[in-house]
Amino acid sequence: MNDLSPLVQEARADFEQATAPADLENAKARYLGKTGRITEQLKALGALSPDDKKARGALINAAKQQIEAALNARRDALADAELQTQLKSEALDVTLPGRKRGAGGGLHPISRARERIEAIFGSMGFDVADGPEIETDWYSFTALNNPENHPARSMQDTFYVDIKDAHGAYLNLRPHTSPMQVRYAQAHARRYAGQATMPDIRVIVPGRTYRVDSDATHSPMFHQVEGLWIGENVSFKDLKVMYLEFIQAFFETTELKLRFRPSYFPFTEPSAEIDIMFERGPLEGRWLEVSGSGQVHPNVVRNMGLDPERYVGFAFGSGIDRLAMLRYGISDLRAFFEGDLRFLAQFN
């Protein structure tokens, strides 16, 4: 009976040679496959006597087990090697500096402009107030001296909400920030009611406003900042001085001119559009409208709960989007509201 240990040795060496799983499977077939060397030995058993068959069979099985053990050991070794190479190629250098997340966002140019406006008026002693975007007919129109049939109330200009207020009038999406003139002044007047004197009302109200309007310079949702200054000694001169100071601070230049052009608003008398003109730069020499303004109408002062014989003042309403467009040199208002990151990221 020939010794099987050389065959086992041979198989071991053969398996060691295999460096890839496929090679190893081929090597396995040479010993354990259908025509493999061990299989061949087992087939040959049939020709032996029962006793020899038993002894020989035990030897072959022992050899087979050794070969299988060698095969499994090699399989594990190859899998382990493969894992090691994979780990090496995917290794993380934990000592490298961390990757930063994308720029992470920033303030919208309109928000930047609004914050600038708030800071400038804040430094001039103005309060900053906020008001409802869904308004009543009274605050948006009636309290502001709008006659019942004024075109501003029409569906062509104002968005209405399908909800009625206590007086049976539909609510509206405020078409301007002016309703806050009356809301703010009423609260102020109530607070100082019965006292000998009342501090001046000095407030700005930046916020969203809505009108049925849409083109390169108009958006159905836009932003205004209302300004109101009311006291016993306030005049149009104060408006001019204050607005010039604001606009110079906003554009960071004294090289611009201001012009008050007669206009009409039901809630101011007299009324004026405020135009500005840059004396330098790309917009040089052109008058640009930036605000409505005027002395608050006595009827409006009365609706504020104040005596128009004693209190006078002025109001203005400027377009924040318009100011931002001029400051950043943007010609199409819609760019502000499209949400294109390539546009927005430039401001941060």
* Interface with ligand PHE (CB under 6 A): 176, 178, 265, 268, 292-294, 315-317
Tokens of 137: 């007919």
How far apart are alpha carbons 224 and 317 in whole angstroms? 6
How far apart are alpha carbons 152 and 150 in whole angstroms? 6
Q: Which is nearer to ligand PHE, 136 or 268 (CB)?
A: 268
Least distance in Å: CB of 109 to ligand PHE? 21
Helix, strand, coil percent content, the chain, rounded in steps of 5:
45, 20, 35
Least distance in Å: CB of 292 to ligand PHE? 3
Least distance in Å: CB of 294 to ligand PHE? 5
Residue 230 one-letter amino acid = I
Q: Which is nearer to ligand PHE, 293 or 303 (CB)?
A: 293
Tokens of 307: 């005596």
Least distance in Å: CB of 226 to ligand PHE? 6
Q: Which helix (H) or strand (E) holds 345?
A: none
Q: Which is nearer to ligand PHE, 8 or 225 (CB)?
A: 225
The strand pair at 268-278 and 256-265 is best described as: antiparallel
Which residue is nearest to ligand PHE, using beta carbons? 317
Q: Which is nearer to ligand PHE, 7 or 225 (CB)?
A: 225
Least distance in Å: CB of 151 to ligand PHE? 13
Sheet of 170-173, strands arranged across: 134-135, 170-173, 160-164
Least distance in Å: CB of 218 to ligand PHE? 12
Least distance in Å: CB of 227 to ligand PHE? 7
How far apart are alpha carbons 103 and 138 in whole angstroms? 46
Q: Which is nearer to ligand PHE, 109 or 317 (CB)?
A: 317
How far apart are alpha carbons 57 and 61 in whole angstroms? 6
Q: Which is nearer to ligand PHE, 32 or 128 (CB)?
A: 128
How far apart are alpha carbons 146 and 176 in whole angstroms? 13
Least distance in Å: CB of 176 to ligand PHE? 3
Instruction: Return all residues near 160 (Cβ < 8 A) that are at least 6 apart.
Output: 170, 171, 172, 173
The strand pair at 312-319 and 221-231 is best described as: antiparallel
Q: Which is nearer to ligand PHE, 109 or 292 (CB)?
A: 292
Residue 176 one-letter amino acid = H
Taking CA atoms, 30 is separated from 12, 14, 37, 70, in Å, by 12, 10, 6, 14
Least distance in Å: CB of 306 to ligand PHE? 17
Instruction: Return all residues near 265 (Cβ < 8 A) that are at least 6 apart.
Output: 271, 292, 294
How far apart are alpha carbons 79 and 85 in whole angstroms? 10
Q: Which is nearer to ligand PHE, 15 or 311 (CB)?
A: 311
Q: Which is nearer to ligand PHE, 36 or 319 (CB)?
A: 319
